[in-house]
């Protein structure tokens, strides 16, 4: 299996089995500071509401609900899986790295050591119309972090 095929499979798997999805049914952890953000991409209709819970500088939960294309839903799922357990500063750094890769138009390769499964979205950078799809949950997470931290 090629790297491109593996990345496609990661996106497909996460778009079907959405980690962290179920915000409406998921209570925030007791004692945690929370922030919540709703983001909408009016161009394609992707929509996500995301909540981040932070306790003593560590992300203890990232829960979300959304509707949209497989790229936007898979990206939210990957982010949820990646974020929990990170410090606020680590997550901000990863969000910045993800944004840099996606905005590079394919010139900056994704580092799986930094981005984990989010490196699978590296190919999206070559399609400007799809960058917002992959970024929507990450923008929501950044906004929610600013409220919670």
For 103-134, the pLDDT digits (tens) are 999 999 999 999 999 999 999 999 888 999 99
pLDDT at 1: 58
Alpha helices in 1-149 (DSSP H): 3-16, 70-83, 88-103, 112-115, 128-148
Rounded Cα–Cα distance for residues 82 and 99 (Å): 15
Tokens of 105: 């138009």
Range of the domain at 112: 3-24+32-148
> How many residues are recorded in the chain?
149
How many angstroms separate the most distant Cα atoms in the chain? 45
Rounded Cα–Cα distance for residues 50 and 35 (Å): 8
- Do residues 114 and 97 touch, judged by C-beta distance below 8 A? yes
Q: Domain tally for the chain?
A: 1
pLDDT by residue (tens digit) across 54-108?
999 999 999 999 999 999 999 999 999 999 999 999 999 999 999 999 999 999 9
Exposed, middle or buried, 56 (CB in 10 Å: 0-12/13-18/19+)? exposed
Exposed, middle or buried, 50 (CB in 10 Å: 0-12/13-18/19+)? buried
Instruction: Please choose, from the candidates 131, 97, 92, the residue with its C-alpha nearest in 3D space to the C-alpha of residue 114.
Output: 97
pLDDT by residue (tens digit) across 29-51?
999 999 999 999 988 899 999 99
pLDDT at 17: 84
pLDDT at 16: 81
What is the CATH number for 17?
3.90.1010.10
pTM reported for the whole predicted model: 0.92
């Amino acid at each position: 299996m090629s790297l491109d095929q593996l990345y496609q499979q990661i996106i497909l798997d996460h778009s079907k089995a959405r980690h962290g999805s179920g915000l409406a049914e998921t209570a925030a952890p007791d004692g945690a500071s929370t922030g919540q953000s709703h983001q909408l991409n009016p161009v394609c209709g992707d929509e996500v509401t995301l909540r981040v819970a932070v306790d003593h500088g560590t992300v203890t939960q990232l829960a979300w609900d959304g509707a949209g294309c497989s790229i936007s839903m898979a990206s939210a799922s990957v982010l949820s899986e990646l974020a929990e357990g990170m410090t606020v500063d680590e997550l901000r750094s990863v969000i910045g790295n993800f944004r840099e890769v996606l905005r590079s138009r394919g010139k900056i390769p994704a580092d799986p050591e930094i981005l984990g499964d989010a490196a699978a979205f590296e190919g999206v950078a070559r399609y400007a119309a799809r960058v917002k799809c992959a970024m929507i949950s990450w923008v929501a997470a950044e906004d929610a972090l600013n409220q919670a931290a």
